[in-house]
A and B are shown apart, each in its own frame.
Chain A
Amino acid sequence: MHVPGTSINRNKRKLWQFHGGLHLPDHKSMSMQRPPVDALLDDLLVIPLQQHIGEPPEILVKEGDKVLKGQILARANAYVSAPIHASSSGTVVAIDEQPVPHPSGLSATCITIETDGQDKWDDCLPEPISDYKSCSADELLERIHWAGIVGLGGATFPSRVKLNPGPNKPIDTLVVNAAECEPYITCDDALIRNHAQEILHGIHIVMHILSVKLCLIGIEDNKPDAIAAIQKALSEHDTGDIELVVVPTIYPSGGEKQLIQILTGKEIPGNGLPADIGIVCHNVATLFAVNNAVSKGYPLISRMVTVTGEGINKPQNMIVPNGTLISSLIERAGGYHNNVNELIMGGPMMGYALSSDKLPVSKATNCILVTQKDNAPANTPAACIRCGKCAEVCPALLLPQQLYWYARARDLDKVQDFNLFDCIECGCCAHVCPSHIPLVQYYRFAKTEIWAREEDKRKSDIARQRHEFREARLARIKAEKQAKLRKKKEVLEKKKAADVDPKKAAIEAAMKRAAEKKQKLQEEGKIPANTENLTTAQQRQIDDANKRRENSES
């Protein structure tokens, strides 16, 4: 065996440390005893529609359609989205809800293909790009997007988005995550050993896209063969801007934040991204997929998966077409050993247990781990004795015991005061807790509660807004009605006034004339009766007016 220490000394780079972490038995040799094999092609491939973070793609096929290998099944319309492709040729037999691997055991839309066994490639795949340097970043990004590449380290964030941080975030370093720190998992190790050249080429393509001058490959010192493979590839094709950095084996050195800290000493700000400090981080498998897409014109339709654990007869790595059922991988790996306990997707620290093996492998699947029942008595959780062991190992520098205390008390404000959302759910705390408290479960629960509460708040905000809108609308309608009414009234009054006027005018004129007459007569010395010289109509009007006055006076 290779002595890990010697490879560390080859680093010129100063390494940093992150707080806490664990030295775990790595159980990696188990799945590395056999070389990787191709998984057998299943009769049915169940391809989940959504295998990435972001918007679901739009389905382009319908039941009964014949599809070829590599053909697009669903197209990404949104920016943060990724298409999916047929991983073999055959017929679409169903587009419906199927159980998918998910911590909550949910079902989701899947496209089921009955394979025809010919595995025939679609012939309208894009041309391989042999000279990526002559292409613009946009052309290459478009290709990566077309290929449906997402972060294969487990995050499944669309790679095109990650590779396009925008003009406000200048990037100077590409960090390649080859740490693979979780016990049991060896898919990246196997990929590097067998495809170091291609990965290196993928790195060059991505460096060209980002136009960065420095790439750091971080790899744990427990993978001497992979280290040697990269070194060999580097020596054959040395460009001087890629540095292989061997880091000590300590879980979770493969966490994005932790690896960047080890390599650069920089901390990604609390709710920020690596791009905020000029870094883009990609997993080796993603870079392998980038090379496949660019240099060969292949979409992402298969990946390396580790099938391992004490509960498996022949642990090994496999190249698995997207949509293959876990049960057939297990079969290929010699089936279950007796005394199977849990079936875990991912590693023992962060993976989640599945209740059934009739679930498809997706882009996110890096490992299928089958554990065995041990004879040790079950660890029943006891009370927290506040020993602080958890805080000593927490790589996020949190106080897990306080988080637990408040999560348990459902004090959702306090739990956020203690930075719940900086928890990366690495499981270190629960691993060391002498009281065997399933701490991470409490944190997930609290996070879900908080999200739910925020969702409720958003909903109630919307409801309140709606209510306010409605109130405002009613008020407006009322105001309009009143305004109309007022106008009507005014019109009416004006009309009334207009109706009265001619009579009044006639009366006034008559009275004026009478007064003039009276005056004239007075001047002449004769005082006639008031009502002399009146027309009958005038007389009647005067009578009416007098009557009205009397009425109003009485």
Chain B
Amino acid sequence: MKFATSTSPHTFQTDSVQKVMLEVLLALVPGIIAMTWYFGWGILVNIAVSVSVAVASEVFVIKLRKRPALPVISDLSAVVTGVLLALALPPLLPWWITAIGAAFAITMVKQLYGGIGYNPFNPAMAAYALLLVSWPKHMTSWLPPSMLNSTPLDFGQVLNVIFTGAMPAGLSWDTISSATPLDEMFTRLDMNQMIEEIRQSPLWGDFGGKGWEWVNNWYLLGGLYLLFRKVISWHIPISIIASLLVLSGLAYMIDPAVHPFPAFHIFTGGVMLGAFFIATDPVSACTTKKGQLIFGASIGALIFIIRSWGGYPDAVAFAVLLMNMAAPTIDYYTKPRVFGEVKDTSDD
């Protein structure tokens, strides 16, 4: 009798990449609902466009490489990339910009490097950066949150705007669009206005931008779910938030007139999404625990620096991309002490 032979171990947990990705998608649901609630159907349309282009691009590349596509796309990583990119985009962005972003993320950032596991950069963030640099005007035209939006568009109108660029009768871009709270804050700070004045604007809620603060809360909730399910570890998100809090807190203590208070930094823009869903992308992040703390803290610091002194209003994407570059080096120098390793006293 002949037997099958494989190497040990002979038992495996039933976890799979697909399961991990499903958990991530599940954790994004509250945030997605909140975004749609505040910013309209455009969010869902963006997700639909982005995900389909991402998956189609992946199939295309895999076919080019003459490999079976089904096992690759069924790991759902392309879907996650598509969703994350879409969530960073303005709600009425022309569909072709979204499509270019998704295609770029999958073909150039992910598959060109060999597919999942090999990409040094977070695909969604690299694509976001590309779009921001190439179409800055489109990429910064947000809608006001629903409570401030006097002319909410219905589903048909949204489709029309996204796919044909045609505005509903009587409306123009200028009348419906609005800057994001972050944009508003730092543009007006640049104009030497005081925080007190800026906060008079109706955009502001309790601690962040109206609407935005709640979106961030829901992302936070999803993030906590991922933590609870052990899909991610606490190291990266907590260190991002902590370092951002500490730095903005320090600045705020030095001069509250020109530095927004810490909660503003945390609950505005893409910090929660970035901290829990994007920077934790294991492929492009640090893999050692100590390294993850350094990685996260540096992202927090970079967000603060770029927001305060850089040219772009939100900095999450750039901060993550910059630290993606540093991750392998950080990993090398933060190897944990192995079992039985005696503390280095002499050589090395």
Q: Are A and B genuine complex partners? A: yes
CA distance A383 to B116 in the complex (A): 7
Is the C-beta of B115 less than 8 angstroms from some C-beta in chain A? yes
**Given A376-B14, A382-B116, A270 and B5 touching (CB < 8 A)?**
no
Q: How far is the CB of B22 from chain A (nearest CB, A)?
A: 11
Is the C-beta of B63 less than 8 angstroms from some C-beta in chain A? no
Q: How far is the CB of B131 from chain A (nearest CB, A)?
A: 25
Inter-subunit contact B118/A383 (CB<8 Å): yes
Inter-subunit contact A349/B338 (CB<8 Å): no
Inter-subunit contact A422/B339 (CB<8 Å): yes
Is the C-beta of A436 less than 8 angstroms from some C-beta in chain B? yes
CA distance A384 to B283 in the complex (A): 8
CA distance A192 to B1 in the complex (A): 34
User: What residues on A are CB-neighbors of B282 within 8 Å?
Assistant: 385-388
> Closest A-chain residue to B16, C-beta based?
A434
Is the C-beta of B67 less than 8 angstroms from some C-beta in chain A? no
In chain A between 383 and 401, which residues have their CB closer than 8 angstroms to a CB of chain B?
383-389, 391-392, 395-399, 401
Is the C-beta of B311 less than 8 angstroms from some C-beta in chain A? no
Is the C-beta of B8 less than 8 angstroms from some C-beta in chain A? yes
Inter-subunit contact B11/A444 (CB<8 Å): no
Q: Mark A394-413, 1 if CB is under 8 A from B, else 0.
A: 01111101100000000000
> Closest B-chain residue to A344, C-beta based?
B10
How many residues of A are counted as interface, with CB atoms below 8 angstroms from the partner's CB atoms? 68
> Closest A-chain residue to B337, C-beta based?
A397
Secondary structure call for the B interface: loop
CA distance A395 to B9 in the complex (A): 15
Point out the residue from A382, A398, A431 that lies within 8 Å of B9, measured CB to CB: A431
**Given A268-B340, A348-B10, A371-B10, A354 and B5 touching (CB < 8 A)?**
yes
Q: How far is the CB of A341 from chain B (nearest CB, A)?
A: 6
User: What residues on A are CB-neighbors of B342 within 8 Å?
Assistant: 269-270
> Closest B-chain residue to A425, C-beta based?
B8
User: What residues on A are CB-neighbors of B116 within 8 Å?
Assistant: 382-383, 385
Inter-subunit contact B117/A383 (CB<8 Å): yes
User: What residues on B are CB-neighbors of A357 within 8 Å?
Assistant: 1, 3
Number of A-B contacts (CB under 8 A): 160
User: What residues on A are CB-neighbors of B13 within 8 Å?
Assistant: 431-432
**Given A434-B17, A436-B12, A353 and B7 touching (CB < 8 A)?**
yes
Is the C-beta of B183 less than 8 angstroms from some C-beta in chain A? no
Inter-subunit contact A399/B12 (CB<8 Å): no
**Given A385-B17, A399-B287, A343 and B3 touching (CB < 8 A)?**
yes
Inter-subunit contact A356/B1 (CB<8 Å): yes
**Given A402-B287, A434-B19, A434-B20, A342 and B117 touching (CB < 8 A)?**
no
CA distance A433 to B12 in the complex (A): 8
Q: Mark B65-83, 1 if CB is under 8 A from A, else 0.
A: 0000001000101000000
Inter-subunit contact A386/B117 (CB<8 Å): yes
Q: Mark A258-283, 1 if CB is under 8 A from B, else 0.
A: 00000000011110100000000000
User: What residues on B are CB-neighbors of A440 within 8 Å?
Assistant: 7-9
Is the C-beta of A85 less than 8 angstroms from some C-beta in chain B? no
Residues of B at the A interface (CB closer than 8 Å) are: 1-17, 19-20, 71, 75, 77, 114-118, 233, 282-283, 285, 287-289, 331, 335-342
Shortest 7 CB-CB distances between A and B: which pairs?
A427-B9, A383-B117, A353-B5, A343-B3, A441-B7, A434-B15, A386-B282
Can you list 29 pairs linking A and B with CB atoms under 8 Å apart?
Answer: A24-B11, A269-B341, A341-B3, A349-B8, A349-B10, A351-B8, A353-B4, A353-B6, A353-B7, A357-B3, A380-B71, A382-B75, A385-B20, A385-B282, A386-B117, A386-B282, A387-B282, A388-B282, A392-B233, A396-B338, A399-B288, A399-B336, A402-B331, A431-B13, A432-B15, A434-B15, A436-B16, A440-B7, A444-B7
